[in-house]
Chain A
């Protein structure tokens, strides 16, 4: 849809070796990119690959540690959202930034005119809005309250808002994540029209078919690094999937082992959708003793529903959970008592209480039982001794058991959580993204502990977006996509690219 050989003077945006660190985590590692007039580039990558961070730097919400940004040949002052807007950048966020109780027109004008003049002198604004709507096929009633609009319409308002401010570069962060296929098609139509008028677009997504349909160039981010840049016409979905998740497969360090009986079976089980997050769609999954079951998939495809279910936070809508010692009530406390260890996806928000000490965090799941409490009275000496034991056996680097856990690095926090849940030699282990954001040392430690538990006969469910991790550790692999679970694949029977196809939702029985 645009010339494959744009001229140098057509460059509208240039990022040069942008680096951004959050503590030990390098969210963006020397990323450079150029955007030309009338071009759509796609920024592709897993969750946590650094896409949103990069855009937040562009928009002045974050300040880059290194590197600089140039818009239309002029350097953009860092950390200044107003300058980014003035320079002609417009962003449509994944989560809308609209006021529900104001009209479409007011929302669009918000921030462009002083508040007390809103509603006055809006004749010109109406005319401009009407022209934009006609030019780009974004028909919408300017007097409708935003709160009454459907999701797709709200997104049109967001796009109109950017265009109204004369944005020449439009950035869309996961714009189709919450749209129906029809709304997505309408959006693409709008974007094509916009590009035809000379607008440039950066399109952030992890949906391969959209990237293929819309963009002229694809940039792939992985672990904060730019790992590939290809012209869309020279590539295909499979190649992109491989780039996105990393094609290199770590040789297995796992000795084959005959699996034992199923310790936890989910049979034909469904859970309801929660907002935009899909529920489980009659899945069947057996976790067997002495086996690591890897669950691959792009985040947001039902992993949360599965994890919440096994964690005891939710109960199935239909279908059955089967365990040898099935608890009468399915709740966090009873599943822990039944021998399920849970390593939650978000160790900061779910796995620990930041302002609690290490000791208080160490007994979070066991405080109500002896020796940590009797008759409602806590035994801090026992809790303290237990914590010191966990610190020593798991090599947790910390100031001491009474320090607040928020002072710990992610790796040390995860080691304590790992120690907490694995201390009682659980029969079943749910590890949801157990190494996300960790440094190499901590990653190795977490993997070692999971393998040791598996070798000792535990059934492990490893949920990860990282195909390398899944392929290195799992005895069998399932892929999850839109709440459906693929058949099981034995270790080494599928390549990363083949798994990537399943991850894109192709191959499921009911897939189109």
Chain B
């Protein structure tokens, strides 16, 4: 058996396989729910209801989608240039640390006008965190998958140290969390009374900007060229290493915005549970979106819906929330397979 590329896949093929992947995901998830002793249809119904069944549920889903849009964009931008940034988690925490440092500093004196400055500071931190691994890659050929991945653990330990030491909240009753941001530095709510904040708006604007950069600017053209064929890009005169560095700065900055948005928009302080793996889930979000920046918004909302819906279903039906992770993993695996099958056909012999 081998794979044979299809030059012009038919429309039925292009949509049929991904649709089949979704159906297969739902079927397997139902079996898993049945294994957990619940009624599969009712379980799925509860997930959908929990994710989108009310205004509250929908806004909660969008809230959860916000950091995923940022990390998904960070991954999509990097992967497009074949820069394998697995360290969005580290960049997220870098952005969060700077947000807290600036947000509890004298900057709070100028009120909400300081927010753009803080966001910029966070982006610089995220960009610098990714710059190191990329310089190692361009100078010495060190594999960035390893270095960016390891940075995640370094950053988590750094955050842990900061929260137990220099950044520990003196009023925190001993909990490892930072002092809260000044009230004037919190991102305003889009919907008063509910939790959705303007970080979501910033995420949508970012996605649109990235889409514009990728399709309408020379930088986007260079990033795609480098990702698709670095040899031809170099031959044509595109400065490959320079493009990789720019890509890294953009990707790291976007991931850091997730940290900024979570601290300034949602939590108000830094703690070790700020991100339940948004940096890693961002990879799933970006891959499901086929690295398209506007697609990232859709898949981030889809993925967030599965998480939020599963939480709510779990409370109601007693099925473990792990089903959310399994659903996502299944969806990703089957979608990758389906996308492969739209481009290749399996041939015997």
The one of B7, B216, B233, B349 in contact with A79, judged by C-beta atoms closer than 8 angstroms, is B349
Contact A353 B235, CB 8 Å, known A377-B217, A378-B218: no
Type the 1/0 row for A375-394, where 1 means its CB is closer than 8 Å to any CB of B.
Answer: 01110100000000000000
Interface: B219 (CB within 8 A): yes
Type the 1/0 row for A288-313, where 1 means its CB is closer than 8 Å to any CB of B.
Answer: 00000000000000000000000111
A376 CA / B243 CA spacing, docked (Å): 13
Binds B, one of A168-176, A220-228, A359-367, A469-477: A359-367
Contact A332 B235, CB 8 Å, known A353-B225, A377-B216, A378-B221: yes
A171 CB to nearest chain B CB (Å): 23
Interface: A331 (CB within 8 A): yes
Interface: A132 (CB within 8 A): no
B222 CB to nearest chain A CB (Å): 8
The one of A313, A351, A368 in contact with B234, judged by C-beta atoms closer than 8 angstroms, is A313
- List, in ascending order, chain B residues with CB within 8 A of A364's CB: 225, 232, 236
Interface: A235 (CB within 8 A): no
B48 CB to nearest chain A CB (Å): 37
A313 CA / B218 CA spacing, docked (Å): 21
Interface: B193 (CB within 8 A): no
Residue of B nearest to A404 (CB): B7
Residue of B nearest to A347 (CB): B232
Interface: B237 (CB within 8 A): yes
- List, in ascending order, chain B residues with CB within 8 A of A313's CB: 234-235
A368 CA / B232 CA spacing, docked (Å): 16
Q: Which of B203-235 contact A (CB under 8 A)?
A: 216-221, 224-225, 228-229, 231-235
A336 CA / B236 CA spacing, docked (Å): 9
Residue of B nearest to A368 (CB): B218
Interface: A344 (CB within 8 A): yes
Across the interface, do A365 and B237 meet the contact criterion of CB distance under 8 Å?
A: yes
Interface: A47 (CB within 8 A): no
Residues of A within 8 A of B (CB-CB), count: 30
B49 CB to nearest chain A CB (Å): 42
Across the interface, do A354 and B228 meet the contact criterion of CB distance under 8 Å?
A: yes
Across the interface, do A356 and B234 meet the contact criterion of CB distance under 8 Å?
A: no
- List, in ascending order, chain A residues with CB within 8 A of B217's CB: 376-378
Residue of B220, B228, B237, B349 contacting most chain A CB atoms (<10 Å): B237
Interface: A425 (CB within 8 A): no
Q: Looking at chain B, what size class is its interface with the partner chain?
A: 20 to 34
Across the interface, do B225 and A356 meet the contact criterion of CB distance under 8 Å?
A: yes
Type the 1/0 row for B311-349, where 1 means its CB is closer than 8 Å to any CB of A.
Answer: 000000000000000000000000000000000000001
B220 CB to nearest chain A CB (Å): 8
The one of B221, B231, B232, B237 in contact with A331, judged by C-beta atoms closer than 8 angstroms, is B237
- List, in ascending order, chain A residues with CB within 8 A of B231's CB: 349-350
- List, in ascending order, chain A residues with CB within 8 A of B232's CB: 349-353, 364
Across the interface, do A367 and B221 meet the contact criterion of CB distance under 8 Å?
A: yes
Contact A332 B236, CB 8 Å, known A350-B231, A354-B229: yes
A331 CA / B221 CA spacing, docked (Å): 20
Interface: A407 (CB within 8 A): yes
The one of A311, A333, A344, A378 in contact with B216, judged by C-beta atoms closer than 8 angstroms, is A378
A423 CA / B237 CA spacing, docked (Å): 17
B7 CB to nearest chain A CB (Å): 6
Residue of A nearest to B230 (CB): A353
A248 CB to nearest chain B CB (Å): 35
Contact A353 B237, CB 8 Å, known A367-B218, A376-B218: no
Across the interface, do B228 and A353 meet the contact criterion of CB distance under 8 Å?
A: yes
A352 CA / B233 CA spacing, docked (Å): 8
A25 CB to nearest chain B CB (Å): 17
A312 CA / B235 CA spacing, docked (Å): 8
A403 CB to nearest chain B CB (Å): 10
30 contacts between A and B (CB under 8 A): A311-B235, A313-B234, A332-B235, A333-B237, A342-B235, A344-B235, A349-B231, A350-B231, A350-B232, A351-B232, A351-B235, A352-B232, A353-B225, A356-B228, A360-B221, A364-B232, A364-B236, A365-B237, A367-B218, A367-B221, A368-B218, A368-B237, A376-B218, A377-B218, A378-B216, A378-B217, A378-B218, A378-B221, A380-B216, A407-B7
If A311-B235, A332-B237, A354-B228 are given as contacts, then 18 extra A-B residue pairs at C-beta distance below 8 Å, sorted by A number, are A63-B349, A313-B234, A313-B235, A331-B237, A342-B235, A349-B232, A350-B235, A353-B228, A353-B229, A354-B229, A356-B224, A360-B221, A365-B236, A367-B221, A376-B218, A377-B217, A378-B218, A380-B216
